[in-house]
Structure 1
Amino acid sequence: MSNGFQGVDLIGDVHGCAISLCLLLDRMGYRRIDGVYQHPVRKAVFIGDIVDRGPHIREALHIVRGMVEAGQAEIIMGNHEYNLLCYLTPGSGVDGYLREHTPRHQRIIQQTLDQFSGHQAELDDYLEWFMQLPLFLETERFRAVHACWHQGLIDRFRSEQGGNRIDRDFLHRSAVPESFEWEVMDRLLRGTHLRLPNDEVIVSKDGFKRRFFRTKFWAEDPQRMGDVVFQPDPLPEHIARLPLTDSQHADLLYYGPEQKLLFMGHYWCEGLPVPLTDNIACLDYSAVKYGKLVAYRLDDEKVLRKDKFVWVDVAREVGRLDTELGS
């Protein structure tokens, strides 16, 4: 790393778990100096989704933004930062905003709205900051994106936008379904997915009805739907056994083992943190659902190692302090 940094600590979805974040940073040797967490030789990279769901969203944002502005961290945009931007940005949508104000959308961001109640100027300032967040990072050694690395979309985005950040016009165009801008935000921030057959619906553990399921983009030769599902909620067995059609194969991506190390969040993993492949790691282990807030401590390795993960077990170490309102 340049500027004196010798290693990178990539941190998964925080979702307002500020207490867990403080514990994780402390565990990795970061110390709060003049109000900012910093490490003498390492730099943090946040994989997005700092907002929504958790009990200490404002505090988490303050920690992360302070580190970024002090040069101690970098951050990429998550789908929850993007969704909040669209929900609160006036536009030509059904409700007069870029993101429709449905009960489902309201439920997802309600904790953020509640915790910023009475702090509108502060919220407006964070929304402006979100506009500056890159959608992805790429160095000589690794890549980071919130949900999915799609090289074709990224190449076109770089060519048209001149970098890795959106602007206000791009944000508005991204609200138009099936547009290039919509596809960029959907794929990079939400990942790949397939529609459930025969208009079937599955209900997730958090009560959401879903007509799509999230899919792997690193399965080399998948044959059935069960070969590509990547989410905590399993597919019903009769769906998992169905063979993938030609059109479904065409919708899948493949990130091969020859490509750079890739870090992402988004997918609500469970269990013990381990690499998905030799060159892909997901860092979202459901911290806000009593899971783990996870980081990967990257040095000079070319193959990901399971012993490089470090985490805070929220249920055991933090409990209700960091996962319930009113703590």
Structure 2
Amino acid sequence: MIVRESVEGYDLIGDVHGCGVSLRMLLSRLGYSKRNGVYQHPRRKVIFIGDLVDRGPYVREVLEIAHDMVQAGYAHIVMGNHEFNLLSYCTPSRNISDGKSYLRAHTQRHRRILQESLQQLDPYPADKSAYLDWIKQMPLFLEFEQFRVVHACWHQELIDEFKARYDDNRMNDEILHRAAVPDSFEWVFMDRILRGTHLRLPNDEVMISRDGFKRKFFRTKFWANQPSRYIDVVFQPDPLPEHVARMPLTEQNKRDLIYYGRGEKTLFIGHYWCEGEPKPLTPNIACLDYSAVKYGKLVAYRYDFEAQLSADKFIWVDVSAEVRSPI
């Protein structure tokens, strides 16, 4: 499943979340132009890191741009957790005995997260159906000769098991329905590659995140070598409470974490709502999610197969400064 093709390089784009104006600006900045209705570059390809949908005002436009580029061979894409959530929310369950009519329960919280996508797609049922079909076909991970791409976390053991079971890197109906069963292999796999690693807060504590949700878990690094405290592994915009941050990790915590070492292939991820000036996380890992839909930055990395990632290869649109309308 190694992707091999002849291109000058790749431009990897982080979580767009319906920011259509920013996406068009970024593609132009990267040297892509619209010809025959499709954005393209004569020598390069885009790789979308997932999370095209939700939160932003131009979900349909973003889906159209990315879909047309992928179909025409000018881009690749991997699925994000928001695409997976939307697909699951819209797919009827086969097992009504579990109390859910759909694979993702139609709760107020889930509806709130998906509301922009649903409001923009529901008036166009043919488009909605076509995009859901496309989402189901999206690769869950991509591996090239020199680098890898996944939305949140590259977990080699789980990826090897997935390939052994399904001989593919894509979703199918069986995987989709089994991924709705808690603690099944498919549920664990999708949670890990699309949402990353996480730890439960100690002593049953609860945090209120910036988006207003109560959370009992926090997102963690999977590239921390021999961490000893909670602060060594937290990776999210919301800081841990000070008394938690300094607590030592338990032995079980350490077993729950994984480690992607510096000897591994270069890896590109999204998902984590980074802030500040874009830069590599390690010499071989770059996160490209810089909170575009929260008036942060829509970020790309211009990858030319360099051995070590470099801060000067990040290109972005500053949404707050360049796109946001004056109040």
Partner of 1:230: 235
**Separation in structure 2 between the aligned mates of residue 134 and residue 317 of structure 1, nearest angstrom:** 32
**Separation in structure 1 between the aligned mates of residue 313 and residue 47 of structure 2, nearest angstrom:** 15
Aligned length: 322
* Equivalent of 2:28 in 26, 32, 53: 26
* Equivalent of 1:159 in 164, 174, 193: 164
* Equivalent of 1:39 in 38, 41, 44: 41
Question: In the alignment, does 2:178 pair up with 1:173?
Answer: yes
Listed one character per residue, the Cα deviations across residues 202-238 of structure 1 (whole Å, up to 9, x for unaligned) are 1111111110000000000100011100000000000
Write the letter of the residue equivalent to 2:246.
R
**Separation in structure 2 between the aligned mates of residue 52 and residue 118 of structure 1, nearest angstrom:** 16
For residue 122 of structure 1, report the CA deviation from its aligned partner: 0.9
* Equivalent of 1:13 in 12, 15, 29: 15
Partner of 2:108: 103
Q: How does 1:220-299 map to 2 (within 5 A)?
A: 220-299=225-304
**Separation in structure 1 between the aligned mates of residue 300 and residue 229 of structure 2, nearest angstrom:** 32
Listed one character per residue, the Cα deviations across residues 72-109 of structure 1 (whole Å, up to 9, x for unaligned) are 00000000000001111000343311011111111000
Structure 1: 5+ residue stretches without partners: none
Partner of 2:73: 71
SS in 2 for 1:259: coil
Partner of 1:300: 305
SS in 2 for 1:131: helix
Write the letter of the residue equivalent to 1:248.
N
For residue 3 of structure 1, report the CA deviation from its aligned partner: 5.0
Given that 2:4 and 2:144 are in contact with CA atoms closer than 8 Å, whether structure 1 keeps it comes out as no
Write the letter of the residue equivalent to 1:122.
D
Q: How does 1:73-88 map to 2 (within 5 A)?
A: 73-88=75-90
Q: How does 1:135-146 map to 2 (within 5 A)?
A: 135-146=140-151
* Equivalent of 1:125 in 123, 127, 130: 130
SS in 2 for 1:214: strand
Given that 2:51 and 2:80 are in contact with CA atoms closer than 8 Å, whether structure 1 keeps it comes out as yes
Partner of 1:208: 213
Given that 2:11 and 2:303 are in contact with CA atoms closer than 8 Å, whether structure 1 keeps it comes out as yes
Note the aligned Cα RMSD (angstroms).
Answer: 1.3
Write the letter of the residue equivalent to 2:301.
Y
Write the letter of the residue equivalent to 1:201.
V
TM-score, normalised to structure 1, is 0.97
For residue 54 of structure 1, report the CA deviation from its aligned partner: 0.3
For residue 118 of structure 1, report the CA deviation from its aligned partner: 1.5
Structure 2: 5+ residue stretches without partners: none
Write the letter of the residue equivalent to 2:84.
Y
SS in 1 for 2:182: coil
Write the letter of the residue equivalent to 2:117.
T
SS in 1 for 2:324: helix
TM-score, normalised to structure 2, is 0.97
Listed one character per residue, the Cα deviations across residues 106-143 of structure 1 (whole Å, up to 9, x for unaligned) are 10000001111321121011111111001000011000
**Separation in structure 2 between the aligned mates of residue 111 and residue 16 of structure 1, nearest angstrom:** 9
Partner of 1:147: 152
**Separation in structure 1 between the aligned mates of residue 73 and residue 14 of structure 2, nearest angstrom:** 19
SS in 1 for 2:193: helix
Given that 2:4 and 2:145 are in contact with CA atoms closer than 8 Å, whether structure 1 keeps it comes out as no
SS in 2 for 1:219: coil
